[in-house]
Structure 1
């Protein structure tokens, strides 16, 4: 069952967090306890958490929503080089600028590596890590959406640049992937996908400057990042930081077997599988909030 969408977001403080090139858009919702720092994947932005945030703030918890450089309302510097290392640096810059002593990074989709690697590098500041339908290292059954696989294939870079230069063809690709991602969703969840999530993703590319360069570079580095994180699995297994896995069971790509594999490799992990798709924070926001609030 889909939760009722929030009618309005709670009040927040808008920050611009400076990076080497450009600045990040950060929304800081007041509260207590270790801050939930919510991290998006591609090709979306921090507004994918707008149904979840009111639940967390109503419970009195501080929540910080970050647009990675190149996405959403963050700057998109001309000629910028986007990478997973840069996104980890984005998170570290937010933590330092907002003086967050303790936090819970919440990584969805491609936001997962930044959340986990922050915890590995800064365990003393990490109360827990939450991953939602995310990836980290290689895992049996790991499959990425066709749209992402196309753009991550280094041998097809000329073709993907052509798609990026053609709004009509790029929109066709997005439309194909949108249909695939909705497989298994309930009718209310499909309606929320169309009304809420679709415009977030479309707006990322239609705005000027567009998120297309960041999307293209991040997807191009996908396989390299998975390989790099696979090499870190020994460090991952040794970590004592609690890992909370919240998974939508209807995700046709990052399905529950990926979460099960991560749980089996972690020292202190719990897994909750929800009646949701790839975006459980939209499809089951109240359930996700309850699990997050109970985690720490």
Structure 2
């Protein structure tokens, strides 16, 4: 079951620097608004969307500016604040009243900060193996650590200019993410997820500039959000933390830590890796659709 079998409306929403690409699947609200992470794009949800749509819910999925099918203008400035703005632009342009922002990986900040800054638009929040703030058990992929270390900018820029070197780094990181997956999950990773990530960087214009700018702000964003603990506690809606327990980086400890800082946490741990929406989309959808 894939999104190719489901009708959706396409939108392009102007963001000043360029437009972002949006897919809107009809259903009842509150809408799930699905957001992707650093190395990928909206296609990481291709197997999850059909399960959510089958539950009768409206689903909106989009590419952040600089990624996927959204514009990648030369000289654009990318930031976590810009991604928060992308989310708000989607909500306004599609006249969404209440949403469930769903953050995976580096879109965790957009999901939580949207609930802090626009509580009138948020029914609940959902995080899938995401980060938000400094956490005692956090370990970040070597690929991200490399590009997030600003003193190594000359090296990382050289890697970005060399398709061969960049491919090698991507290959190394791919093997690390797959270490704890089942054989079936590894096979699907290679057939489905790997090509999504590769295309994000190899197709021109590339997502490389957006990736480089976003990762360079990684540790500063963690520090900024760590200072928002009191505001996190004011989030008065349920926050579902749905975690793949075999993720070697954004591990279960991050979810446990976040759950202690939220007023209404719901913690769910599943047998999957970092991209749990790819590994076990049916189980992830079941948790997302459940209402207390």
* TM-score calculated relative to the size of structure 1: 0.97
Decide which of 43, 47, 51 is 1:51's aligned counterpart. 47
Could you tell me how far apart the structure 2 residues matched to 1:7 and 1:134 are?
23
Aligned: 1:215 with 2:214: no
Decide which of 97, 111, 114 is 1:115's aligned counterpart. 111
After superposition, the C-alpha distances for 1:120-162 in whole angstroms (9 at most, x for unaligned) are 1111210000000000011111110000000000000000001
Q: How do 1:193-208 residues align onto structure 2 when only pairs under 5 Å count?
A: 193-208=189-204
**Considering only aligned residues, what root-mean-square deviation do their CA atoms show, in Å?**
0.9
Q: Secondary structure of the residue that 2:106 maps to in structure 1?
A: helix
Aligned residues: 292
Q: How do 1:85-104 residues align onto structure 2 when only pairs under 5 Å count?
A: 85-104=81-100
The Cα of 1:233 is off from its aligned counterpart by: 1.0
Structure 2 residue aligned with 1:75 = 71
Aligned: 1:190 with 2:190: no
Which deviates more from structure 2 when the two are superposed, residues 8-17 or residues 269-278?
8-17
Is contact 1:49–1:282 with CA below 8 Å preserved after alignment?
yes
Could you tell me how far apart the structure 2 residues matched to 1:285 and 1:255 are?
19
| Runs (5+) with no aligned partner, structure 1 | none
The Cα of 1:8 is off from its aligned counterpart by: 3.1
After superposition, the C-alpha distances for 1:89-138 in whole angstroms (9 at most, x for unaligned) are 00000000000001000000001100100011111210000000000011
The Cα of 1:6 is off from its aligned counterpart by: 3.0
Which 4+ runs in 1 deviate beyond 4 A?
Answer: none
Q: How do 1:128-207 residues align onto structure 2 when only pairs under 5 Å count?
A: 128-207=124-203
Is contact 1:244–1:295 with CA below 8 Å preserved after alignment?
no
Structure 2 residue aligned with 1:37 = 33
After superposition, the C-alpha distances for 1:176-217 in whole angstroms (9 at most, x for unaligned) are 000000111001100110000001000000111100000000
Taking a change above 3 Å as real, the CA distance of residues 91 and 188 of structure 1, as seen in their structure-2 partners, is same
